[in-house]
Structure 1
Amino acid sequence: MVDLHVHYPMHLLGGVEDPRDVAEQMLRVTQRDEGKFRAAVLNVAARLFNFRHWDGSWRVSVPLLQQGEVTVACSVLYRPFSEMDLDEPYSAPPESAYYDRLIELLEATERDIEQQGHVVVKQADDLERAQRTGKIAFVHCIEGGFHLGATPDEVTAHVHELADRGVLYITLAHLFWRRVATNTPALPFLPDAVYNALFPQKGVPPLTELGVAAAKACNASGVIVDLSHMREDAIDATFALLDDDAQVMASHAGYRFGRQHYMVDDTTLARIKARDGVVGLILAQHQLNDGIRRTNTKTLAETMDVVDRHIAKLGPDHVALGSDLDGFIKPTMGGVESAADLKPFAAMLRARHPEAADRILEGNALRVIRRRFASAAG
């Protein structure tokens, strides 16, 4: 099984923000007291908005992924205190230092994965080696264009560096406007209208010069632009910059049955299909139920009823799994509390969609991933 969007590095952030008396790490985090504060804030936020209960734990780990029979984990790199910079006002431009912090997390993730005996995918052979040896293949992905740099030249150079490090996709927009790409509301506790009132984006360019540089660099390097979180005007501006054969995806979303603009509409879906891309299904009650149910799903069977509706609209050749576990999507869909629950999820999907299940759970995502690395090799 492939999960196109799982926040494996999230549980490593506490140690990155608050280093343990290791000189090398301390030098890479300015003002250790600030790092301690960020780690404490992250801990409280995780208990409130991510863990099932206050005394719960992270939903993604190597053992949980193994129990869930996940063989390829698209591992999402995200530094929340770069996006929500406590020293800056809303809509402040990105800082050059954010990229160094991103690389710090990337390298911490690689060390952790390799220590546990699994594989970080940097080229096509790594993916095949992991599958041949029964190891989990971890593929780096990045959420938020604000990580990439403070100038167009920095962004361009950094995207190419990330391509060489094996990054599969970059989500240019995310939760808040940081002068890269316009975003849609996605906070589970705020309706779209309230979000738009609190965090306005009127009169801003859909892609700034940083967003244009990022899209062009992705196009040139083979890194996939992830359309998740992007507002329609940013999606339009992005397609205007991409070659006709450039890949795109929405790694963690679903079909727009309701009013949430976060979800994929017919126009964007047609564009994704035209490039043989995929939409990974986010397993968040807030998004996946919108326009289908007024109440949360309680059981896996109820969840699968909702999933069935999305599969029918997206099409079995263009839908995959993009759970967003540990992405602060509490509450998750009924029956899916951690990565371990993806095994029964997959079993029920196979029972309901015997002819399409292998494509949905693995084949569609692998098609996109292999094409990305084949392009890099070429």
Structure 2
Amino acid sequence: MVDLHVHYPMHLLGGVEAPRDVARKMLRVTERDEGKIRAAVLNIAARLFNFRHWDGTWRVSVPLLQQGGVTVACSVLYRPFSEMDLDEPYGAPPESAYYDRLIELLDATERDVIARGHVVVKTADDLERAQRTGKIAFVHCIEGGFHLGATPEEVTRHVHELAARGVLYITLAHLFWRRVATNAPALPFLPDALYNLLFPQSGVPPLTDLGVAAVKACDASGIVVDLSHMREDAIDATFALLGDGAQVMASHAGYRFGSQHYNLDESTLARIKARDGVVGLILAQHQLNDGVRRTNTKRLTDTMDVIDRHIAAIGPDHVAIGSDLDGFIKPTMGGVESAADLAPLAAMLRARHPEAADRILEGNALRVIRRRFASAAG
């Protein structure tokens, strides 16, 4: 199985950026008059979003990935306290130092993966070597354009550096407006309307000069632009900049059956398909159930009923798995508590979709990944 969006590096952040410590650190913000409501919201998010219990453990590790049958892990680099910079007001522009922190996490991830005997993918040969030897292939991905730099020149230079380090895709938007790309609401405990009230983005450009630089640099370097988290105006602006041969994907999303703008509408799906892209299904109750059922799934069979709807709507040639495990998506879909649970999910998917299972679990994602590294070699 390929997991297109899994937060393996999160457990390497250590102390200050572990989810249980976010609430404590957010108290610094509540001491200021400005941002008290937002601080309270984020305090709740930190307490509830990831671990099953307050004293739980991470959902993603090498042993859990192996138990889950994951052979390719699209390993997402994300520094929470760069996005939620406690010394800056909401909507502050990115700082140059965020990129150095990102590279620090990238380096730590590579050291950890290599020490555990697995493969960091930087070339097509690395990917094939991992599959040939039965090792997990870890492919770097980045979530949040705020990591990339404080000026268009920095962003352009850094994106090309990241391409040389083997980065597969960059998710330009994320949870909050940081003056790169407008984002769709994605917090599980906030309806879209309330999110938009608390975290307004009215009157801002869908892509700033930083966002434009990032899209152009991705196009030039071969890095795939990930449309997940983007508001529709940012998606439109992105497609207007991309060349005909540029790849796009949505690494962790779903079909818009309901009202949530995080999920993808028919227009965006058509443009992804036209570029032979892929949509990884996020295994979050909040997003995947929207418009499909009113209550959370409890059993894996119920979860598969929901996944079946998304597969039918998106199409088996353009859908994959992008779990977002350890990405603060509590509650996860019923029957999926950790990466180990991806194995029974895969078995049930094979039973229900024998003709399409190989494409959904592996082939569609590998098509995009191999094309990315083929273009880098060229």
Q: Percent identity, aligned pairs only?
A: 87
Residue 120 (1) aligns with residue 117 (2): no
Give the partner amino acid of 1:62: V
Which residue is equivalent to 2:322? 322
Using a 3 Å threshold, how does the CA distance of structure 1 residues 90 and 47 change in structure 2: closer, same or farther?
closer
Which residue is equivalent to 1:21? none
Deviation at 1:37, TM superposition (A): 7.0
Which residue is equivalent to 1:309? 309
Give the partner amino acid of 2:162: L
Conserved? CA contact 1:215–1:238, under 8 Å: yes
Q: How does 1:275-354 map to 2 (within 5 A)?
A: 275-354=275-354
Conserved? CA contact 2:121–2:138, under 8 Å: yes
SS in 1 for 2:99: helix
Deviation at 1:70, TM superposition (A): 0.2
Q: Distance in 2 between matches of 1:70 and 1:256?
A: 27
Which residue is equivalent to 2:267? 267
Which residue is equivalent to 1:83? 83
Q: Distance in 1 between matches of 2:314 and 2:282?
A: 13
Which residue is equivalent to 2:150? 150
Conserved? CA contact 1:285–1:297, under 8 Å: yes
Q: Distance in 1 between matches of 2:371 and 2:323?
A: 22
Count of equivalent residues:
361
Which residue is equivalent to 2:39? none
Q: How does 1:91-110 map to 2 (within 5 A)?
A: 91-110=91-110
Give the partner amino acid of 1:125: D
Q: Distance in 2 between matches of 1:62 and 1:370?
A: 23
Deviations 1:40-79 (A, max 9, x none): 6599976632011112100000000000010000000000
Q: CA RMSD in A?
A: 1.7
Conserved? CA contact 1:152–1:210, under 8 Å: yes
Which residue is equivalent to 2:33? none
Using a 3 Å threshold, how does the CA distance of structure 1 residues 60 and 376 change in structure 2: closer, same or farther?
same
Which residue is equivalent to 2:204? 204
Deviation at 1:126, TM superposition (A): 0.3
Residue 131 (1) aligns with residue 131 (2): yes
Which residue is equivalent to 1:26? none
Conserved? CA contact 2:76–2:140, under 8 Å: yes
Conserved? CA contact 1:14–1:39, under 8 Å: no
Q: Distance in 2 between matches of 1:139 and 1:175?
A: 22
Which residue is equivalent to 1:256? 256
Using a 3 Å threshold, how does the CA distance of structure 1 residues 348 and 41 change in structure 2: closer, same or farther?
farther
Q: Distance in 1 between matches of 2:115 and 2:220?
A: 33
Q: How does 1:167-186 map to 2 (within 5 A)?
A: 167-186=167-186
Q: Distance in 2 between matches of 1:261 and 1:38?
A: 27
Conserved? CA contact 1:123–1:166, under 8 Å: yes
Conserved? CA contact 2:22–2:46, under 8 Å: no
Conserved? CA contact 2:141–2:168, under 8 Å: yes
Which residue is equivalent to 1:55? 55
Give the partner amino acid of 1:84: M
TM superposition score normalised by structure 1: 0.93
Using a 3 Å threshold, how does the CA distance of structure 1 residues 58 and 158 change in structure 2: closer, same or farther?
same
Q: Which runs of 5+ in 1 are unaligned?
A: 19-35
Give the partner amino acid of 1:364: N
SS in 2 for 1:240: helix
Deviation at 1:14, TM superposition (A): 1.1
Q: Distance in 2 between matches of 1:206 and 1:259?
A: 21
TM superposition score normalised by structure 2: 0.93
Which residue is equivalent to 1:361? 361
SS in 1 for 2:241: coil
Conserved? CA contact 1:47–1:56, under 8 Å: no
Which residue is equivalent to 1:217? 217
Give the partner amino acid of 2:52: R
Q: Which runs of 5+ in 2 are unaligned?
A: 27-42
Conserved? CA contact 2:182–2:201, under 8 Å: yes
| Regions of 4+ moved over 4 Å | 15-18, 36-47
Q: Distance in 2 between matches of 1:244 and 1:11?
A: 38
SS in 2 for 1:245: coil
Q: Distance in 1 between matches of 2:246 and 2:176?
A: 26
Conserved? CA contact 1:16–1:105, under 8 Å: no
Using a 3 Å threshold, how does the CA distance of structure 1 residues 180 and 3 change in structure 2: closer, same or farther?
same
